[in-house]
Amino acid sequence: MKRWPLQEAYFWERAPFFRLLFPLIAGIVLYGYTSAGNHIASLALLGVSSVLFLVTSFLKSQSCLFKYLRFGSLHLALIAASWLLCYFNDIRNDERWFASKKSDAYVARIQKLPEEKDKTWKLEVDVIKTIEGEVTTGKALVYVYKNKIPLVFGQGDIIMLPDKWQEIKTSGNPFEFDYAAYCNRNNIYYQQFLSGDDIVLHHKALPDDISLVQRLHNYTLSQLDAYIHDDKVLGLMQAMLIGDEANLDSDLRQAYSETGIIHIVAISGSHITIFFLVITFLLGWIKHRKWNWIKYIAAIPLIWLYVIMSGAPPSAVRAALMFSILGIGFALDKQSHSLNHLFATAFILLCAEPMWLYAIGFQLSFIAVLSLVLFYRPIYKIYVPVNKVLRLLWSVVVASIAAEILVAPLVIYYFHLFPLLFIVANVAAYVFMGLALIGGMLLVVLNAFKPIATFIAVCIEYPVKWFNELVYIMQDNNPVSFGYLYIDMKELLCLYLLIAGAAIYLLKQKKSGMYVSLTATIVLLVMLNVNEWDALHQQRLIVYNINKVNHIELIQGKKHIVLHTDTMVDARKKNYVLKPVHTAYNAWIPGEHYYSQVLNISGKKVLILNKPLIQQADVFPVDYVIINYNAGVSDMHKIQQVFKPQQIVLGSSVPRYLVDDWIAAAREGKTSLWTVSGMGAFIL
């Protein structure tokens, strides 16, 4: 008997949320390039396209024109709705936003525990009203100078702040992390730098003023602090267990990042899985398969409580939401469609918080799960061990490889590194994380029994110390060049096309995938060779904006040469600014210190002026003069008279009040002036 040939469904037919996700993302991206004043046009577009979709759907015509109209109107409606989601999520469009209310002082509530910085305490506040009593809303940052005075403010306190708001800006160094954009996407636009005397305590928070979930969070922090005495171990356990990275050692965090296991620090799917396994163990007395659904239903609220306690980071919310969707599906005995669940999770999260689209944690967690769904089973089938222990070990190795396929390009794009020992690191990390998390949970639960809690703390400290040493060893053995990888957006897209084409060819046996992969490989190699040519023939002078001091470098070929620096500035702070530049310009090889004050950069004569002109000198024309000392406005006339520069570059060492005087004098004398502290790094 003949059978009708079955046509394989496209994956977007089996994962309908894929179709919804694309217009949602398009609307979010479009919001960043349009004015908020377009909300009337967006409402009109949503209304017209919705009506058109309903009309074409009601007529049920099968003509191509009606199909295209249905398709186009539906997607235009989704894009408009997505744009409006962003509009209403943007605090600047709220009439109660504190920045739109002029007042001499504001009343604010401290939202989180104060975070200690080198010279300040960082407070995240919610501005609740003006001093006149007008209700406001909106988050802001307040930095309180230490000045050897202990901080008297805590979480939940209500304080009065003066009207000294400053817009959050980046320092303007090339390729640096855009902290201003990061804050803006979290609806934080303003900050203040104050001494303790500038802040008035309005109301000291009582225990009942802090939410139950936050009290649980603080209680967990205090119990870990009471029993774990090693600072690095404490910071790591607080980050791993409840997502609080305030005390996490920066060098240790960098080591975890460079070895490819930073995901065990941020609460994500791995943490949720271990938490569920603990719940399953506690409910192990339920043996019959008929009642297995109880485990999932019991786990869902407990997991959400755990996520909220940890501060609800995107990776944790994504993992909890996906677990909830899967758990409800298993409880109802429905077939699992992992891809559709993943797209549904992303769709729901972006509807709730559209700006999470730009969160690196959200992108990495989504891509990692997508990579596991697509590649885990094909790789696992290559070799299936008979031994149970080997099978478990092989599953961890496969999970590490499968996740890395799609995650690696994104890690290179954002962090400019590739951990060569990622398989070894991840296998060790999963075992370590399971033991550390279970140990941390037991410590918090059994803290009332001091001898037992102390014993558990000792059992946690030593393995964590040993694992940290192992991480440092793996970090040191990663090739130096693998920490200076750089790709731009075009190269990232080529990498993903290469991977997608190869996957289609190998998994689906379609030659079109091979052609796509080969084409992407050729284009990528051409772009990388062009970048290498540009790097070998480049010459750039950069005056950085680092911590109110000058750091001047000459980038020549693939070397960076220090022309001037301040040895008082911490090397770690310098590296935070300099490493992205060295990586992006492919100039990570240090050159010998250069002492000449006059340089020729691409045919332009540059003078680095380290001290004021004491007496009248002969005319010495140059194109650029870089002021590398605490210069007053009176020096401007002498510099113009002697050097006749096209432009004067004012370094970061000049105080703010003098910079304003320089700007006024330059405007009056029609002098071209570049201020590094206000305009960002100067690049020639």
388-441 pLDDT tens trace? 878 878 887 888 888 888 888 888 888 888 887 777 777 777 777 777 878 888
Residues, the chain:
684
> Could you give the 3-state DSSP secondary structure of residue 605?
strand
**Letter string b/e over residues 325-362, b meaning 16 or more CB atoms within 10 A of that residue's CB:** bbbeebeeeeeebbbbbbbbbbbbbbeebbbbbbbbbb
Share of the chain above pLDDT 70, in %: 91
Asked if residues 513 and 497 have their Cβ atoms less than 8 Å apart, the reply is no
Asked if residues 674 and 623 have their Cβ atoms less than 8 Å apart, the reply is no
CA angle at 432 for the pair 426 and 435, rounded to the nearest 5°: 145
Q: Is the pLDDT of residue 6 over 50?
A: no
- pLDDT band at residue 594 using 50, 70 and 90 as cut-offs: low
- Interhelix angle 422-445/388-415, rounded to 10 degrees, is 100
Identify the burial level of 50 via C-beta atoms within 10 angstroms of its C-beta, where 0-12 means exposed, 13-18 middle and 19 or more buried: middle
Q: What is the DSSP string of 162-224?
A: ES--EE------TT---HHHHHHHTTEEEEEEE-GGG-EEEEPPPGGGS-HHHHHHHHHHHHH
417: left (phi over 0), alpha (psi -120 to 50) or beta: beta
Q: Is the pLDDT of residue 8 over 60?
A: no
Please report, in angstroms and rounded to a whole number, the separation of the first and last CA atoms in the chain: 78
Asked if residues 299 and 205 have their Cβ atoms less than 8 Å apart, the reply is no
Share of the chain above pLDDT 90, in %: 4
> Could you give the 3-state DSSP secondary structure of residue 674?
strand
Q: Is the pLDDT of residue 202 over 80?
A: yes
- pLDDT band at residue 522 using 50, 70 and 90 as cut-offs: very high
- Specify the DSSP class assigned to residue 537: T
Instruction: Compute CA distances 136 → 183, 209, 366, 617, 646, whole Å.
Output: 19, 19, 35, 59, 48
User: What per-residue confidence (pLDDT) applies to 290?
Assistant: 67
The residues, any chain, with a CB within 8 Å of residue 611's CB and separated by 6 or more, are: 629
Question: Which residue from 599, 671, 674 is spatially nearest to 639, judged by alpha carbons?
Answer: 671
Strand 673-675 and strand 115-116: the pairing is: unpaired
Distance between CA 135 and CA 127 in Å, rounded?
A: 9
pTM metric for this prediction: 0.84
User: What per-residue confidence (pLDDT) applies to 37?
Assistant: 66
CA angle at 350 for the pair 346 and 355, rounded to the nearest 5°: 130
- Return the C-alpha torsion angle 608, 614, 617, 623, nearest 10: 20
Q: Residue 162 pairs with which residues in a beta bridge?
A: 105
Instruction: Compute CA distances 585 → 238, 254, 281, 530, 540, whole Å.
Output: 37, 22, 53, 12, 10
User: What per-residue confidence (pLDDT) applies to 5?
Assistant: 46
In this prediction, residues 620-630 reach a mean pLDDT of: 83
Distance between CA 17 and CA 338 in Å, rounded?
A: 11
